[in-house]
Chain A
């Protein structure tokens, strides 16, 4: 309630007003709240508390895996304490220097663990990168070209029915153990299932009205793929990546555990599990710390990926 009651327009003080220019173009704009795709993705992602927790875990683990080995300079093949019996089997958390204890050769388990984790992560990330990039590129064109479809479907039928584990084992066996060979063996056939997955999605979106319109207007195929279809697939691609990384870590660990993964000269989580398996009862920490680390890396990366995939689906961005 104001004290002064305004009765007519004459009572208004002109100094309260200011002049505005009439803008004709403003009426043409459609009023809509401001929307930014990536802004919404991050808002959505950070509203998920478990995802944030897992992101912190995943980032910590990944940073540790890539930075710690540089500082420690750990070399899997060097065993300076091998003849010093007092340095063997130091239990974890007994000394600050060997926080996870030492193994049967007197090496620090902490250093070995991160160096192994780095190699395993590197293999998983490299294999995922290769699989996804080849898969996406091939899948895009595969979904578009009917001629290519005829050939690719046959290749897919041959390759997809054979277990990946079998192919990887045979390839590592034939090519020899090593980084390049393992990455090759893991990605040489797995790209085709990614490509197939993308193909189906492309085929669904391909014939929608806006793409037909675009084609009528003479947009080249690569532009339709890049601008019209690819953005649609972001959430699908992230889902697929979030499944691939843990799967490849799991493959690497399993293959190395069975003795057909990386060679003895490289540290890796799988190798560690294999090497320390005999100490399961006498020095259980040697065995369980690598196994638990593997589980933590896989689970955190998977959950972060799933949350990100959910968040990147525009349909969840409703306000």
Chain B
């Protein structure tokens, strides 16, 4: 069994790897890169050499190419001052060397040369996977900033709620593992995923931070800083990062160089927003769908069963967009609910009702049909006939025997539905302008935010693939007869 799980995990990783590599290859090669800059307002205003330099630095930031200025070229030369003179023999030799390495040399209008190298598809994918995982180590500060007098050690400290936290001196982050506010409640800074930089929306931010960080305006919280100062400040001390140069303001609050903090904001992050909506709607869908499906199966061909099937068919056939707008319109006309989420925002319960109702309605028909189907299939099986022959009451057969067996395939789907809540409902979030993950993908596509698209693809693909694995494992827990390992093949 353990071997099987390991194998499945390995396979899942390979699946994610293949899918994301294909997406990277497609996005970087098929989409004209100049389109990325079309939406950039500052680029449009520039002229001449500035524009060229800006273009290349942007492409380099986004991972399209490797851009080298003359100063960097000459830094490698034996005689940097001679090299920096345009058209000198020294410079020509260096440029030739770069050309031989696969770089293209071009000249600015003022005659200064520069070189760039377009990454091939393989290099692009390789760069992505190479930079993906970043580990924080005790040697980080020494390696990056050359600071040698800082003590290098891990130790147990206390976090903001006085829970124990693993802390570090010498690492990039002061708090390595801690309990903290906000989803998912246990946080870590030891391993970071790096997906590249968001551009042109939220320009310069890491894509993962964009979806993970809280939104809205800053929220000041009364807190005590390491120096003992008590202040109303939005800084989140748990995210303290090493800062090579601390200014006066930092010194009044922090005793060491770990002073680069992120801030608290009013509203939850994109991931959290999607999760709130997803989980509540899921609970509602299961709470209605399971009993309804069971009831229908129990009174098969009765009036309620027929009505239920008709409703299910209608919901399946109705395009989701039409359903979303119908419910939204009814909500805003009859119950005065807002038709856009930001109208009342996170604080008001009214903003949640319509989207949650829609999300539940969208997952309800599938859940009801499958529950009904499994129950009916089970009730035709031999053990049910036997139970009937032995004189068990209809109720006993249903609750004690059929239900237990029918629930197994339903359990298989639960992890997937819970985990995929994070990915958010693409259309619902777009229609209500909910600032969640689901809305982020079409937004990123329309804004040509390539790195963001890749990040979201990675997250969605990984979540869906691993949730299927989790569902299978959960199924074996519920029903010990099911064995996932190879043995099953022999009995087939």
Contacts and interface: CB of A to CB of B under 8 A. Distances in A.
Contacts of A162: 19, 460-461, 464-465
B31 A173 contact: yes
A187 interface: no
B322 A158 contact: no
A175 B30 contact: yes
A151 B329 CA distance: 48
Contacts of A273: 321, 325
A283 interface: no
Contact of A173 (B27, B318, B431, B461): B27
B11 A173 contact: no
Interface in B314-336: 314, 316-322, 325-326, 329
Nearest to B460: A166
Interface in A120-162: 157-158, 161-162
B105 interface: no
A158 B316 CA distance: 26
Nearest to A281: B339
B318 A299 contact: yes
B15 to A, nearest CB: 4
Interface stretch (B82-90, B133-141, B175-183, B441-449): B441-449
Contact of B321 (A253, A259, A260, A301): A253
Interface string A225-265: 00000000000000000010010011001100111100000
Contact of A298 (B319, B339, B426, B430): B319
Contacts of A161: 15, 461, 464-465, 468
A16 to B, nearest CB: 54
B427 interface: yes
Interface string A149-188: 0000000011001110110011101111000000000000
B317 A246 contact: yes
Nearest to A158: B15
Given A250-B320, A258-B442, A170 B26 contact: yes
A299 B465 contact: no
B75 interface: no
Nearest to B25: A174
Nearest to A160: B468
A260 B430 CA distance: 12
A162 B314 CA distance: 26
Contacts of A298: 317-319, 322
Interface residues of A, number: 38
Contacts of A301: 317
A258 B461 CA distance: 20
B453 A170 contact: yes
B11 A259 contact: no
A303 B15 contact: no
Interface string B296-315: 00000000000000000110
Contacts of A67: none
A173 B468 contact: no
B322 A295 contact: yes
B18 interface: yes
A295 B319 contact: yes
B457 interface: yes
A166 B457 contact: yes
A34 B441 CA distance: 59
Nearest to A299: B317
Interface in B416-441: 423, 426-427, 430-431, 441
A249 B26 CA distance: 25
Nearest to B464: A161
Contact of A169 (B320, B325, B445, B465): B445
B36 interface: no
Interface of A: 157-158, 161-163, 165-166, 169-171, 173-176, 243, 246, 249-250, 253-254, 257-260, 270, 273, 280, 287, 291-292, 294-295, 298-299, 301-303, 306
Interface of B: 11, 15, 18-19, 23, 26-27, 30-31, 313-314, 316-322, 325-326, 329, 339, 423, 426-427, 430-431, 441-442, 445-446, 453, 457, 460-461, 464-465, 468
Given A162-B465, A170-B26, A176-B30, 8 more contacts: A162-B461, A163-B464, A254-B321, A254-B426, A259-B442, A294-B321, A299-B314, A303-B313
